[in-house]
Amino acid sequence: MSILEGIVYMYMGIDLGSSALKVAVVDFDRNEIVSLKKRSIDMLSPRADFAEQDPDEWWKKLIGILNEMRKENLFDFNEIEGIGVVSQREGIVLVGKEGEALTNCITWIDRRSEKQAIEISNMLDPRYVYERTGLRISAGFTATKLLWFKENNPEPLEKASYFLQPKDYIVYKLTGIYATDYSLASRTLLFDIHKLDWIDEFFDKLDIPNKFPRVYWSTEVVGETSNEIAESTGLPKGIPVAAGGGDRQGENLACCGARKDTIAISLGTTININTALDKPYVDPQMRSTTSLHLLENKWLLELGLSSGTLILRWFVENFAKDLGEEAYRVLTEKASHVKEGAEGLYVFPFIIGVRAPWWQKETKAAIIGFYQGHKREHIFRALIEGLSYNVKAAFAVIEDSCERINNIYVIGGGSENKLWLRILSNILDMRLKVLGIENAGVLAAASLNVLRERRDVAARIFENPRVREEYYPDREFSIRYQKLYEDYIVKVEKYLRDF
């Protein structure tokens, strides 16, 4: 039994990401992961702009993981008090009346619905959509995918009994219950983040039926593990399964405890900056997005930037192959000896178009200021500085929406690069705390049933995340970077106007 009012703290978390499925059993009494398993998930791209996943693959790999856990016998399945699921967001699976997947999941990465995003912008005022949904009209969001089905493949849309997002499908397979939650509903472009309800007007305008299931808070129990799952895995019948939610919200919960004075900077493939709010924030300049959090009456403000480690990987793969496996280390070490500002070299790292805070999707990346004395370490440093300048520009929105900032936590693969962290700390002129948290998604998922019973426990579970190291700004360098940042902003805004 737990020291917290007798609550048992053995819970299972499932995290269905874009590239992998993770399952963990967590003992919150001892605050440790008892078992963790991971399987890769294939991304299917029958066309260049398609990015699909097979829901049956998700389920088969989950069954495989559960059976492997049972055979290892590191814990007793009968000790599991609840199951929670988080997943990638905005994807859509159309399911038939028997719960069968009628289509592959069109994931958030998929860009087949660019045309439909433009059509929605012509049917509905983008600012009006933003003010009600907290989202900018984009091919990433679910509504555009449903409109694509209507125009290009209407049969499964008509046959579907339910529209499910990725974790909704897993919850259904575990329980036999169709359900979604507020965090994923609010990523569809069809949900009012103020009234917490579907926007009938938008469904009518798009001439799309609303086949989404009932909406729950992420911590609410929607059902229990079924006979079928018990027979196929050995999990006992009757384990409560929470509604679950989005993986980015889960990341914020596990790293920041959903506290409104704490900012998370995820230096991943693309950079995401996010913070929890006690009320929805609608930016007058439409620079950010806002959706519901995993916790009741909490929202998540996000700024998804144009790139991150993606552009560093692109540079290494195309211009530093000769350095082999040591490429990142060698380039980082050499770039550390390049003076701040990379001797006049600037990078606009818009390798997938311009996202927050400028939002100009047709614009491409650029490197300006070349001369013959520049080497690839200059470009590598300019890439890191360009990414960091973009983070600083995005922070203007964070500062507008937050009363105060007490902590800035850094996570993601880019947090392994010490040069990047020093540069980022100096450009922001702020202290950064690099977290040693791995597997944030499964930790958040596993906690959902606990938080249903005791919401205040969130502060205890995630109050003091393990800080691996801290970076403090150097005043001299911060002053220099402030001038360089001002020059960068002048140049990038002119570039965006002229592109």
With beta carbons less than 8 A apart as the criterion, state whether 320 and 327 touch: yes
CA distance to 52, 144, 290, 391, per residue, from 189 (Å): 20, 8, 11, 25
Distance, CA of 47 to CA of 110 (rounded, Å): 10
Q: Give residue 33's pLDDT.
A: 87
Cβ neighbour number for residue 208 with a 10 Å cutoff? 17
Q: Give residue 258's pLDDT.
A: 84
Contacts of 317 (CB under 8 A, 6+ apart): none
Same-fold call for 10-243 versus 255-499: yes
Give, in degrees to the nearest 5, the angle at Cα 113 between 111 and 115: 120
Domain extent listing, the chain: 10-243, 255-499
Phi, psi dihedral angles at 318 (to 5 degrees): -100, -20
* Closest C-alpha among 308, 306, 334 to residue 320: 334
CATH code: domain 255-499 is 3.30.420.40
Pure H helices in 97-242: 114-123, 126-133, 142-152, 154-159, 166-175, 182-185, 200-206, 227-233
Strand 180-181 relative to strand 162-164, pairing: unpaired
Q: Give residue 30's pLDDT.
A: 76
Assigned fold of 10-243: Nucleotidyltransferase; domain 5 (3.30.420)
| Per-position pLDDT tens, the chain of length 499 | 343 444 456 899 999 998 899 999 988 877 788 999 999 999 998 888 899 999 999 999 999 999 999 988 888 888 899 999 999 999 999 999 999 999 999 999 899 999 999 999 999 999 999 999 999 999 989 999 999 999 999 999 999 999 999 999 999 999 999 999 999 999 999 999 999 999 999 999 999 999 999 999 999 999 999 999 999 998 999 999 999 999 999 999 988 888 889 999 999 888 999 999 999 999 999 999 999 999 999 999 999 998 899 999 999 999 999 999 999 999 999 999 999 999 999 999 998 888 899 998 788 999 999 899 999 999 999 999 999 999 999 998 888 887 788 899 999 889 999 999 999 999 999 999 999 888 888 999 999 988 776 656 655 677 778 899 999 999 999 999 999 999 999 999 999 998 8
Q: Which two tokens stand for residue 168?
A: 């909704």
Q: Which two tokens stand for residue 221?
A: 């129990």
> H or E segment at 346?
strand 346-348
Q: Which two tokens stand for residue 353?
A: 């178009």
With beta carbons less than 8 A apart as the criterion, state whether 301 and 277 touch: yes
With beta carbons less than 8 A apart as the criterion, state whether 262 and 256 touch: yes
Distance, CA of 137 to CA of 121 (rounded, Å): 7
**First vs last Cα of the chain: how many Å apart?**
62
Distance, CA of 499 to CA of 353 (rounded, Å): 12
Q: Give residue 128's pLDDT.
A: 97
